[in-house]
A = this chain, B = another copy of it.
Amino acid sequence: MMKEDNHLEKINRRQLIGRVAAMGLVLTQGPFERVIQTAGLPMSASDDPTKKLGPFPGKLGTRSPAEQLEKLTSFTSSRSPLQDFYGIITPSDLHFERHHGGVPAIDPEKYELLIHGMVERPLKFTLRDLKRFPSVSQIRFLECSGNYRGGNEELTPQHICGLTSQSEWTGVMLSTLFREVGLKPKASWFLAEGGDAAVMTRSIPISKGLDDAMIVYAQNGEAVRPEQGYPARLFLPGWEGNTSIKWLRRIELSDSPFMTREETSKYTERIKDGKIRQFSVVMDARSIITFPTFPVSVEKGWMEIRGIAWSGRGKITTVEVSVDNGKNWYPARLQHPVLDKAHTAFRFLWQWDGRETVIMSRAYDETGYRQPFLQELVEARGSSGGYHFNPVVPWRLKPDGQVVLASETQGRGRGRRPTP
Contacts and interface: CB of A to CB of B under 8 A. Distances in A.
A99 B56 contact: yes
Contacts of A212: none
B94 A349 contact: no
B103 A54 contact: yes
Contacts of A95: 61
A361 interface: no
Contacts of A333: 134
Q: How many chain copies does the complex carry?
A: 2
A67 B226 CA distance: 10
Interface string A64-79: 1011011101111110
Contacts of A221: 85-91, 94
Contacts of A64: 108, 223, 225-226, 230-231
A232 to B, nearest CB: 12
Contacts of A93: 60-62
A149 interface: no
A304 interface: yes
A170 B86 contact: yes
A51 B199 CA distance: 9
Interface string A314-350: 0000000000000000000101010100000101010
Interface residues of A, number: 126
B57 A71 contact: yes
Contacts of A405: none
B11 A228 contact: no
A408 interface: no
A58 B94 CA distance: 9
Interface of A: 1-2, 4, 7-13, 29, 32-33, 35-36, 39-40, 49-64, 66-67, 69-71, 73-78, 84-95, 97-99, 101-108, 110, 112, 114, 116, 121-126, 128-129, 132-137, 168-170, 176, 179-180, 191, 193, 195-197, 199, 201, 217-218, 220-223, 225-228, 230-231, 247, 249-250, 252, 258, 302-304, 306, 333, 335, 337, 339, 345, 347, 349
30 contacts: A7-B125, A7-B128, A9-B124, A11-B114, A11-B122, A12-B122, A29-B199, A35-B116, A39-B124, A49-B196, A53-B197, A54-B99, A54-B103, A57-B73, A57-B99, A58-B73, A58-B227, A61-B92, A61-B95, A62-B225, A63-B222, A64-B230, A64-B231, A66-B108, A67-B222, A85-B221, A86-B217, A87-B170, A91-B222, A135-B304
